[in-house]
Structure 1
Amino acid sequence: MATASMPAQPLRPLVLADLVPAVRARNVVLVALGVLLTAALAQVSVPVPGSPVPITGQTLAVVLTAAALGPVRGVAVQVAYMACALVGLPFYSEASGGVDVVFGATGGYVVGFIPAAVLIGMAARHGADRNPLMAVPLFIAGQAVIFAVGVPWLAVSADMSASQALDAGFYPFILGGLVKAGVAAAVLGTAWKATRQA
């Protein structure tokens, strides 16, 4: 004689946080951590003589978060980062924030973080961040996108000629961009290797 099996009872949540679907909670936490990483690396700031644009760790954070989180969450990190600065949180270099800072001479670089996150995140979805031979050129290209937005913005907002904007907002950052691409490739490559060995 066959017996009907009892349907499994759903597990009751242990705490309020258990009521939040795991995927949404995870994404919110990952995006928040990405924002905090970008804000923290923005404080690694070295002034460039004659330029309103400092050398910072922000672009390293953009590369790392976009590659690690993918295009949607990577873009969400950068949009949230800008929003935090717009409301006055001291998330930009030298603990600055506010509307004047966000839309000032360096604002174009931060706007450029968004298309850079799309490019890097999309390529990372296809595995381009796992091999340093592919990752380094990708991360250089991502930073080039940032400069493609930031340098013209700098020229317009600071009333500079194209050559002045390149001198103040691009040339001094080439070496640092190459180093950041190498560092990001090493970090992500190591992370992927660790997951394969786990």
Structure 2
Amino acid sequence: MSTAAPAATPAAGAVLADLLPASSAARARLRDLALVAGGAALTGLAAQVSVPVPGSPVPVTGQTFAALLVGTALGARRGAASLGLYAAAGVAGLPWFAGGSAGWSTASFGYILGMIAAAAVVGALARRGGDRTVLRTAGVMVLGSAVVYAVGVPYLAHSAHLSAAQAVRLGLRPYLLGDALKAALAMSLLPAAWRLLPRG
């Protein structure tokens, strides 16, 4: 009596981007460059979804979600490189920060720096299977958001001359509900991608 072959199991230490085939080292480098550039572009596009928060210089945007998604899907090295490219291009004048802005002299620039660190953190966790189940993905997203705030809120306090309490009130509290919704979306997308994508 024959039995069905078991489904392939993803290799330990793999992230979603590793499932994209590359037949040689040169093709793998080209793939990685394309992924890094694509992740930066995705973050720039998501940043244009921007809603002002009354009384705060930091709008609600889609860029944090995109940054965490990029870091998780690409892994720590490529994810941090992608967000680093996003930040560097924006500082150089490409208007793809929130609301079509550019440069580093805004009070919200600390959040962009935090996204680079967060992409590295969530990417490292993804290599340990952090994006393969709903609960693990939730934890990864919460931790990644915490890293963004750990850099962004103190930067906001310094650049806008706010007290720590004011910076938390203006730069953290208004965004917690949105972060919960983004985490819920990631919880549905990332584990589902592992189930649907070809595995080698």
Q: TM-score, normalised by structure 1?
A: 0.86
Q: 1:11 matched to which residue of 2?
A: none
* Corresponding position: 1:86 with 2:88: no
State the alpha-carbon separation in 2 of the partners of residues 48 and 141 from structure 1: 23
Say yes or no: does 1:69 pair with 2:74: yes
Matched letter for residue 54 of structure 1: P
- Provide the C-alpha distance between the structure 2 equivalents of 1:146 and 1:104, rounded to a whole number of angstroms: 16
Percent identity for Structure 1 against Structure 2: 45
Counterpart of 1:184 in structure 2: which amino acid? A
Tell me the alpha carbon deviations over residues 64-121 of structure 1, each in whole angstroms, 9 at most, x when there is no partner: 10110000000001110011101100110111112xxx23211111110122111100
Cα deviations by residue, 1:124-154 (Å, 9 ceiling, x for unpaired): 0011101011110110110011001100110
Alignment of 1:9-88 (within 5 A): 21-88=26-93
Q: TM-score, normalised by structure 2?
A: 0.85
Q: Which amino acid aligns with 2:194?
A: W
Which residue does the alignment assign to 2:168? 166
Number of the residue aligned with 1:116: 118
Q: Secondary structure at the match of 1:21?
A: helix
Residue 182 of structure 2 aligns to which amino acid in structure 1?
K
Q: 1:189, CA displacement in angstroms? A: 1.4
Which residue identity does 1:70 align to in structure 2? G
**Deviations 1:136-173, CA, capped at 9 Å, x for gaps:** 01101100110011001100100011111111100000
Secondary structure of the 2:96 match is coil
Mapped to 2, the partners of 1:78 and 1:143 lie a distance apart of 14
Amino acid at match of 2:187: A
More helix by share: 1
Give the RMSD, CA atoms, in angstroms: 1.8
> What is the SS of the residue equivalent to 1:130?
coil
**Which residue in 2 is equivalent to 1:15?**
none
How many residue pairs were aligned? 178
Write out aligned runs for 1:95-110 (5 A).
Answer: 95-98=100-103, 102-110=104-112
Q: Which residue of 2 aligns with 1:16?
A: none
Equivalent residues of 1:63, 1:184 under 8 A apart = no
Residues 66 and 121 in structure 1, CA contact (< 8 A), matched pair in contact too: yes
Q: What amino acid sits opposite 1:53 in the alignment? A: V
Tell me, in whole angstroms, the C-alpha distance in 2 between the residues paired with 1:27 and 1:185. Answer: 25
Confirm or deny: 8 A CA contact 1:112 1:148 kept in the other structure: yes
Deviation at 1:20, TM superposition (A): 8.9
Q: Tell me how far 1:35 sits from its aligned partner.
A: 0.5
Distance (Å, rounded) in 2 between the aligned partners of 1:197 and 1:159: 51
After superposing on structure 2, the runs of 4+ consecutive aligned residues of structure 1 that deviate more than 2 Å are none
Partner of 1:193: 195
Distance 1:20 1:97, change over 3 A: farther
- 1:186 CA drift (Å): 1.1
Structure 2 residue 188 is the aligned partner of structure 1 residue 183:
no
Structure with the greater alpha carbon radius of gyration:
1
Task: Indicate the SS of the match to 1:167.
Answer: helix
Q: Give the Cα separation in 1 of the matches to 2:173 and 2:29.
A: 41
